[in-house]
C-alpha cells in the first residue's frame, strides 16, 4: 500500500449528503477483475451525459458540464470535500479504488459509512472527519476562492487552510501507523500466527462444530 | 457488573488478541465468496505467494453476474452472453479450482445468492463470525451470528489469516413490540425502522433486533430484517437465538449432527442478551403502528406508508436535506404531494437477498393467484434466491400460479437488484422492487426504484400502480 504522510492539493466539492457507492462507481464497472482503471468511471452517471460501458474510451463521451468535477477550476483536484454519510451502500472496494485512481488522496466529510471508511484506509486514501460546521466553512472558502488548496498532515493530524487556520482530526492509531508507513496489514497479522493457532486449538475443544468443513459433494 | 449483549458475547468468543492500540484480531469462522469482490483478493494472494489459512471455511458461488433466463443459463458459464460478466464468473471458477475452494457453480442446484445459500446450506450457523465481500452479509445475523460485509482487501486478509483487524462496535437495540397488522411483513418493519432512524442511524453500531415482533417472526423474516441493517448504516444486525432458530438449523447440510448437535444447541441457547445488558442506544417502535411501506426517493430512508403522499421540499428547513428531497423528486419524476398510490409501475422485480426465499415467493403467489398482471406493466419477474428455493416453489406449484398471472419465472441470482446481468430497468422506468437499495441508477441507468415487500410488489403488478395490499 502507498503511504500517506503529508499532502497539499486542490479541493473539489461533492456537495450532497448520503453519496452512495453506486454513485461513486456504478455496478457495470464492477465486472473488472483488476484493481486499477476505475478513475475514468468515478461518478460516471453524474459526470457524463450518456450511459457508460465497461472498457469504453471515455475521452469521446459527452461531459455533464454542470457537474463540478468537470469544471476547469477543479481540474487536478486531490482532496474531495463532502457531506454526511459519504460512501453509504455496498461494500465494493471499487469505490476507494476509483477515487484513488482519479487522483484523490483524501476526503473530508462530517461522517462516513463504516465499510467505505474502512476500505479507504486499505488503499492509501485518507478519510478525514471534521465537524459539519467546519465542513460548511471549508465549502464556503472553497467556493469563494478558485484554486483553493488544503494541506493535510497525517502525523500531526491537522488540516490547514490557505489562510493558515488549522483543524485537528482524530484517526485510529493502528490505521495511522499503517498509512504513514504504507504497511500491508496481512503481513502484520501473520506475525501473530501463533496466537491464531492457539485460539483455534482452544475453540476446537469448546465448539468443534465451528470447524465443520465445507466439502465438495 | 452489567450483563452482556448478544454482540458482546459473540465478540468475546472470537477475540484472538487485543492490541495496545485499541484494535483487535477477530477470528472468522465462515467466509462466503462471490465473483465480484474476490478476483483482486485472489490476485493478491498469488502475488504474495500466500494460501488460504483454512480453505474449508470458505464457500463460493457466483450470483451477481449470472443470467436468469433458462435460455442463457442452459450452457452454463460459456453461455453467458456478456463477455465481461462471463470472464468474471469464469475467474471465480478458476480461482476456486486453483485454491481448492468448494464452489456451487452456476448450474448446480445449490447455487444461489450468497446470503440465501449460507443459511440454507447450514454453512452459516448461530454463534459464528461470518464475512463476505458484500454488505448484505448482515443477513446471517438472523441466526444469532456476527455477520458483516467486508471490502476486497479484507477478503484477502481473511483468506490469508482467518482473522479480521477490527474495533468493537457500539451496541444498539431496536425493539419492536406489539403485533403486526395483517398484510404487514418483515420488509415493512425494516423499511419503517430505516425511515425512522435514517441511513446513518446505525453507523458505528452492531444492531440487535428485539421485542415481540421478532420473537414472533420466522427465520426468513428475520433474515429480511437483518439484511437491511446496512441500509440503516449498521454493518451488523442480529436476532437472539430461540427455538425458531434451532428448528431452522436442524438437519441442514453443514449443521452439526449427533453429539455435536446437542453440544451446539446447549451453547446456542446462551446467545441472547442478558436481562441487565447495557445498550449504548435503544430505539423503540410500536409494531401495531407499522403500515405497508413504499420508498419514494433515492435513499432507503426516503420511505413512507402506502397511504401517504410524497413530501414537499418547501416544508424542510435543513438546506442539505431540502436539496436532497428536491433532487430525489426530480430523479424519480414525482411531484411534491403526489399520493404514493398514484405512482404507476413499469416493471416489477420480486427477488434479491432481501426477499427471494420460499416465504417471499409464497406471499407473492398468494396475491397473484387468480389475478393478472396489469397491461401497463411491461415486465414482472420473480427470481428465486437459490436453485433449492426454486425447486421448493415448483414443488408447491407456485411457479404455475405466477406464470398464470403473467409473471416471469427465472433462474436464481441477484438479477435486477443491482442489474449487473441483463435484467435491468430502462431510463425513467418505475419499478416495484423487493430489493434493498433505491439509489440512482441502481437497477439500471435512469431507473426509478420503489422498495416494497413481496406482497406489495405483486399487488402493484396486478393494479399497475401502488396499492395497499390490505385492500385487495
CATH number for the domain harbouring residue A131: 3.20.19.10
Q: Which helix (H) or strand (E) holds B265?
A: helix B258-268
Q: Which band of pLDDT confidence, cut at 50, 70 and 90, is reported for residue A107?
A: very high
pLDDT at B39: 97
Contact assessment for residue B131 and residue B58, using Cβ atoms and an 8 Å cutoff: no
**Average pLDDT over chain A, rounded to an integer:** 96
Asked if the ipTM is above 0.85, the reply is yes
DSSP annotation of A128: E
Residues of B in contact with A172 (CB under 8 A): 21-23, 167
Which B residues 58-77 touch A at CB under 8 Å? 58-59, 64-65
pLDDT at A177: 94
pTM, entire model = 0.97
Same domain, A133 and A190: no
Which A residues 136-165 touch B at CB under 8 Å? none
Same domain, A22 and A89: yes
Closest CB to A119 among B88, B153, B437: B153
Sequence-distant (6+) residues with CB within 8 A of A181 are: A3
- Residues of chain B falling short of pLDDT 70: none
Same domain, A165 and A198: no
pLDDT at A37: 95
Residue closest to B60 by CA, chosen among B85, B86, B93, B90? B93
Counting DSSP H helices and E strands in chain B, the numbers are 16, 19
Inter-chain touch B43–A18, beta carbons under 8 Å: no
Same domain, A59 and A153: yes
Whether the predicted pLDDT of A1 surpasses 90: no
What b/e string do you get for B318-356 counting C-beta neighbours within 10 Å, with b at 16 or more? eeeeebbbeebbebbebeeebebbebebbbbbbbbbbbb
Same domain, A135 and A209: no
DSSP annotation of A69: G
Residues of A in contact with B267 (CB under 8 A): 207
Closest CB to A174 among B21, B82, B200: B21
Residue A67 lies in a domain: yes
Inter-chain touch B43–A213, beta carbons under 8 Å: no
Same domain, A138 and A65: yes
Same domain, A143 and A68: yes
Residue A1 lies in a domain: no
Share of chain A above pLDDT 90, in %: 96
Residue A143 lies in a domain: yes
Alpha-carbon dihedral angle through residues A94, A95, A96, A101, given to the nearest 10 degrees: 70
Tell me which residue range forms the domain holding A131: 6-183
Sequence-distant (6+) residues with CB within 8 A of A42 are: A24, A25, A69, A98, A99, A101, A102
Residue A12 lies in a domain: yes
Same domain, A195 and A170: no
Which B residues 305-334 touch A at CB under 8 Å? 320-321, 323-324, 327
Residue A195 lies in a domain: yes
pLDDT at B409: 98
Residue A96 lies in a domain: yes
Residues of B in contact with A215 (CB under 8 A): 56, 102
Same domain, A23 and A124: yes
pLDDT at A145: 98
Residues of A in contact with B131 (CB under 8 A): none
Same domain, A27 and A91: yes
Q: What is the CA radius of gyration of chain B?
A: 21
Residue A147 lies in a domain: yes
- Total structural domains within chain A: 2
Same domain, A197 and A175: no
Q: Which band of pLDDT confidence, cut at 50, 70 and 90, is reported for residue A217?
A: confident
What b/e string do you get for A10-34 counting C-beta neighbours within 10 Å, with b at 16 or more? bbbbbebbbbbbbbbbbbbbbbbbe
What b/e string do you get for B84-103 counting C-beta neighbours within 10 Å, with b at 16 or more? bbbbbbbbbbebbeebebbb
pLDDT at A184: 84
Residue A105 CA to residue B336 CA, distance in Å, equals 39
pLDDT at B2: 85
Closest CB to A115 among B149, B264, B321: B149
Chain B residue closest in CA terms to A55? B84
Residue closest to B362 by CA, chosen among B406, B341, B319, B393? B393
Residue B196 CA to residue B232 CA, distance in Å, equals 9
Output phi, psi for B180, to 5 deg.
Answer: -75, 145
Residue A173 lies in a domain: yes
Residue closest to B62 by CA, chosen among B30, B39, B95, B36? B36
Instruction: Establish if B40 touches chain A: CB-CB under 8 angstroms.
Output: yes
Cβ pairs A/B, distance under 8 A: 202
Whether the predicted pLDDT of A55 surpasses 90: no
Q: Which long-range contacts (CB under 8 A, 24 or more apart) does A163-169 make?
A: A167/A130, A167/A134, A169/A128, A169/A129, A169/A130
Same domain, A67 and A124: yes
Amino acid at each position: 500500500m502507498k503511504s500517506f504522510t503529508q499532502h497539499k492539493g486542490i479541493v473539489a466539492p461533492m456537495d450532497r449528503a448520503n453519496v452512495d457507492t453506486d454513485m461513486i462507481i456504478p455496478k457495470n464497472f464492477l465486472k473488472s477483475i483488476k484493481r486499477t482503471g476505475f478513475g475514468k468511471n468515478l461518478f460516471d452517471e453524474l459526470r457524463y451525459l450518456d450511459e457508460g460501458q465497461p472498457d469504453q474510451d471515455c475521452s469521446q463521451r459527452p461531459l455533464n458540464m454542470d457537474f463540478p468535477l468537470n469544471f476547469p477550476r477543479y481540474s487536478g483536484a486531490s482532496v474531495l470535500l463532502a457531506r454526511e454519510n459519504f460512501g453509504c451502500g455496498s461494500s465494493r472496494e471499487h469505490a476507494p479504488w476509483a477515487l484513488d485512481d482519479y487522483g484523490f488522496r483524501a476526503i473530508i466529510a462530517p461522517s462516513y459509512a463504516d465499510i467505505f471508511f474502512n476500505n479507504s484506509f486499505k488503499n492509501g486514501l485518507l478519510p478525514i472527519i471534521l465537524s459539519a460546521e467546519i465542513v460548511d466553512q471549508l465549502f464556503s472558502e472553497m467556493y469563494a476562492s478558485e484554486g483553493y488548496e488544503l494541506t493535510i498532515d497525517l502525523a500531526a493530524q491537522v488540516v490547514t487552510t490557505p489562510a493558515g487556520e488549522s483543524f485537528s482530526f482524530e484517526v485510529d492509531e493502528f490505521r495511522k501507523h499503517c498509512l504513514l508507513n504504507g504497511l500491508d496489514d496481512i503481513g502484520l497479522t501473520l506475525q501473530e500466527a501463533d496466537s491464531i493457532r492457539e485460539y483455534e486449538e482452544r475453540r476446537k475443544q469448546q465448539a468443534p462444530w465451528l470447524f465443520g468443513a465445507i466439502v465438495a459433494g | 457488573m452489567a450483563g452482556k449483549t448478544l454482540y458482546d458475547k459473540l465478540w468475546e468468543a472470537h477475540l484472538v488478541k487485543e492490541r495496545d492500540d485499541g484494535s483487535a484480531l477477530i477470528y472468522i469462522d465462515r467466509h462466503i465468496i462471490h465473483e465480484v469482490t474476490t478476483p483482486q483478493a485472489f490476485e493478491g494472494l498469488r502475488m504474495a505467494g500466500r494460501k488460504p489459512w483454512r480453505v474449508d471455511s470458505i464457500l463460493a458461488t457466483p450470483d451477481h453476474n449470472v443470467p436468469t433466463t433458462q435460455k442463457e443459463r442452459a450452457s452454463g458459464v460459456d453461455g453467458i452472453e456478456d463477455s465481461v460478466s462471463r470472464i468474471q464468473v469464469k475467474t471465480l471458477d478458476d480461482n476456486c479450482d486453483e485454491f481448492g475452494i468448494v464452489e456451487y457453480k452456476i448450474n448446480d442446484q445449490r447455487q444461489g445468492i450468497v446470503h440465501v445459500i449460507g443459511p440454507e446450506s447450514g454453512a452459516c450457523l448461530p454463534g459464528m463470525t461470518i464475512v463476505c465481500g458484500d454488505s448484505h452479509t448482515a443477513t446471517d445475523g438472523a441466526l444469532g451470528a456476527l455477520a458483516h460485509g467486508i471490502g476486497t482487501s479484507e477478503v484477502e486478509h481473511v483468506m490469508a489469516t482467518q482473522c479480521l483487524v477490527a474495533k468493537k462496535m457500539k451496541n444498539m437495540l431496536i425493539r419492536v413490540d406489539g403485533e403486526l397488522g395483517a398484510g404487514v411483513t418483515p420488509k415493512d418493519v425494516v423499511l419503517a425502522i430505516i425511515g425512522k432512524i435514517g441511513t446513518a442511524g446505525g453507523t458505528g453500531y452492531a444492531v440487535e433486533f428485539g421485542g415481540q415482533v421478532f420473537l414472533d417472526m420466522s427465520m426468513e423474516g428475520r433474515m429480511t430484517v437483518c439484511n437491511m441493517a446496512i441500509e440503516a448504516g449498521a454493518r451488523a444486525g442480529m436476532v437472539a437465538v430461540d427455538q425458531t432458530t434451532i428448528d431452522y438449523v436442524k438437519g441442514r447440510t453443514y449443521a452439526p449432527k449427533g453429539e455435536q448437535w446437542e453440544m451446539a444447541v446447549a451453547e446456542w441457547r446462551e446467545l441472547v442478551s442478558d436481562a441487565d445488558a447495557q445498550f449504548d442506544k435503544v430505539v423503540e417502535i410500536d409494531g401495531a403502528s407499522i403500515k405497508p411501506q413504499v420508498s419514494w426517493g433515492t435513499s432507503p430512508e426516503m420511505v413512507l406508508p402506502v397511504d401517504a403522499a410524497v413530501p414537499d421540499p418547501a416544508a424542510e428547513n435543513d438546506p442539505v436535506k431540502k436539496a436532497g428531497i428536491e433532487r430525489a423528486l426530480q430523479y424519480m419524476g414525482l411531484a411534491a404531494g403526489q399520493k404514493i398510490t398514484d405512482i404507476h409501475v413499469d416493471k416489477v422485480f420480486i427477488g434479491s437477498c432481501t426477499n427471494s426465499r420460499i416465504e417471499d415467493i409464497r406471499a407473492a403467489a398468494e396475491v397473484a393467484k387468480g389475478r393478472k398482471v396489469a397491461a401497463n406493466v411491461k415486465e414482472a419477474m420473480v427470481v428465486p434466491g437459490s436453485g433449492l428455493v426454486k425447486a421448493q416453489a415448483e414443488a408447491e406449484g407456485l411457479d404455475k400460479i405466477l406464470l398464470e398471472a403473467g409473471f416471469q419465472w427465472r433462474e436464481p441470482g441477484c438479477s435486477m437488484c443491482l442489474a449487473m446481468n441483463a435484467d435491468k430497468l430502462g431510463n425513467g422506468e418505475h419499478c416495484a422492487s423487493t430489493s434493498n437499495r433505491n439509489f440512482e441508477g441502481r437497477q439500471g441507468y435512469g431507473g426509478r426504484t420503489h422498495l416494497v415487500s413481496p406482497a406489495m410488489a405483486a399487488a402493484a403488478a396486478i393494479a399497475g400502480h401502488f396499492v395497499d395490499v390490505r385492500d385487495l
